[in-house]
Amino acid sequence: QLQASGGGLVQAGGSLRLSCVVSGLALASGSYSVAWFRQAPGKEREGVSCIRSGSSGSTYGDSVKGRFTISRDNAKNTMYLQMNSLKPEDTAVYYCAARLTRLLLSVCLGPSSYVYWGQGTQVTVSS
């Protein structure tokens, strides 16, 4: 089970941090991939960032590189997405997702790669 939170309304240039509490999967151990996706009205779901088990292995969508940072707190079993320099085009419903295998970075931003999904959290960036 995944529970996303932290969305809200922010002005362009501002920041938000999204959280995703993960249940049923220990981020400190095992083999997994967890990711953030977003979906704006009328658009397809887009991969934002993913992180995999182990000491390395994360990637970002081109539209958020250099502005967003994914991280995890193993003790809290929580994944985060720090979003800086937000733009109106970042407005979307953001979802977290998980899979109990360590995906290749080349596919870990594909929505079809994930089995477990949290409910979305709305992020709205005003201009």
Q: What is the pLDDT along the chain (127 residues), one digit of tens a residue?
A: 999 999 999 999 999 999 999 988 888 888 899 999 999 999 999 999 999 988 667 899 999 999 999 999 989 999 999 999 999 999 999 999 999 988 998 899 999 999 999 999 999 999 9
The two structure tokens encoding residue 15: 């920041």
Identify the bridge partners of residue 33 per DSSP, sorted by sequence position.
Answer: 52, 99
- Tell me the DSSP string of 34-69: EEEEEE-TTS--EEEEEEESSS--EEE-TTTTTTEE
